[in-house]
Copies of this chain bind each other. A is one copy, B any other.
Amino acid sequence: MKKTLKEKLEVLKQKGHFLTSSRLMVLDYLLESKSHPTADEIYSALKKKLPSLSKATVYNTLKLFTELGVAREIKVEREKSRFEARTDPHVHFTCVKCKAVFDIEKQIVKFPKSVENHKVMFGDVFLYGICESCQRKGNS
């Protein structure tokens, strides 16, 4: 279910949404980034290239992408959301020291279709600990 830039743009078009430069830039930024950026990080990074960009537009864009399934919102910290362009199911590891979020390729769970009479549609697995880099720094 990994989609390319072109495929994701196709989703926008087909649903009748305009291909604006903010949308292109946010989508491109998400696809390039592995760091699961926050709305504010995306805004700050893109503001340099597109000085007219406003934070509201970043939020609007991320909301649209999330609704269309073009991006995903990750709730590893309560205070702020992080976003990623990957929409295929995968585990996230968050470092409790440096707060970095990593994608884990190894599939460690297979979700059941139902549990205790509730119908399961999707699920998230969040692991927390000390990342490789912080372990090396003795930052534990």
Residues of chain A whose beta carbon lies under 8 Å from any beta carbon of chain B: 73, 75-78, 80-81, 91, 93, 95-96, 102, 104-106, 108-109, 111-112, 114-132, 135, 140
- Protomer copies: 2
Please determine whether A130 and B109 come into contact, CB atoms closer than 8 angstroms.
no
Bound-state CA distance A105–B117 (Å) is 12
Please determine whether A93 and B120 come into contact, CB atoms closer than 8 angstroms.
yes
Closest 6 CB pairs of A and B: A117-B132, A121-B129, A123-B127, A120-B129, A109-B109, A119-B130
- Evaluate whether A121 and B130 lie within 8 angstroms (CB atoms) in the complex, with A73-B78, A78-B78, A78-B81 already known: yes
Please determine whether B121 and A124 come into contact, CB atoms closer than 8 angstroms.
no
Please determine whether A93 and B111 come into contact, CB atoms closer than 8 angstroms.
no
A124: B residues at CB distance < 8 A: 124-126, 128
Shortest A80–chain B CB gap in Å is 8
A126: B residues at CB distance < 8 A: 123-126
Bound-state CA distance A17–B118 (Å) is 40
Shortest A32–chain B CB gap in Å is 21
A96: B residues at CB distance < 8 A: 121
Q: Which residue of the partner chain, among B81, B115, B129, contacts A93 with CB atoms under 8 Å?
A: B115
- Evaluate whether A120 and B115 lie within 8 angstroms (CB atoms) in the complex, with A78-B75, A108-B109 already known: no
Shortest A128–chain B CB gap in Å is 5
A75: B residues at CB distance < 8 A: 75-78
